[in-house]
């Protein structure tokens, strides 16, 4: 399966059709949701997108990693990573 992902333009057009609104309104709604999610995740929070999943920011502790080219082990400092958990409803829809 080598389908190309939907582009933002295609997503905006589909969202406008689903909402019964124009593309400008749909683009503003999509940008607004993206900005809210980014702001909440940057603050260390979580956002549940009903029917899609949950986006959370999780802390990763300091750990030992290996450089594959040299085999040298180095200590990677603690950082944060974004994790997306897919909703059961979406998993069931795909299966």
Characterize 34-54 residue by residue with b for buried, 16 or more Cβ atoms within 10 angstroms of its Cβ, and e for exposed. Answer: eeebeeebeeeeebeeeeebe
Q: What is the pLDDT along the chain (95 residues), one digit of tens a residue?
A: 568 999 999 999 999 999 999 999 999 999 999 999 999 999 989 999 999 999 999 999 999 999 999 999 999 999 999 999 999 999 999 88
Instruction: Write down the pLDDT at residue 77.
Output: 95
Q: Which residues contact 10 (CB under 8 A, 6 or more apart)?
A: none
- Global pTM reads 0.76
Q: How far is CA 62 from the centre of its chain?
A: 24
Give CA separation, 93 vs 10, 51, 52, 72, in Å.
21, 10, 11, 45
46-95: which CATH topology? HU Protein; Chain A (4.10.520)
Instruction: Give ranges for CATH 4.10.520.10 in the chain.
Output: 46-95
């Amino acid at each position: 399966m080598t389908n190309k992902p939907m582009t933002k333009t295609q997503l905006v057009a589909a969202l406008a059709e689903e909402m019964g609104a124009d593309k400008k309104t749909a683009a503003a709604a999509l940008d607004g949701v993206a900005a809210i999610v980014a702001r909440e995740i940057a603050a260390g929070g979580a956002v549940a997108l009903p029917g899609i999943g949950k986006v959370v920011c999780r802390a990763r502790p300091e750990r030992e990693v290996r450089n594959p080219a040299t085999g040298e082990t180095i200590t990677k400092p603690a950082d944060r990573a974004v994790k997306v958990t897919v909703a059961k409803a979406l998993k069931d829809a795909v299966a």
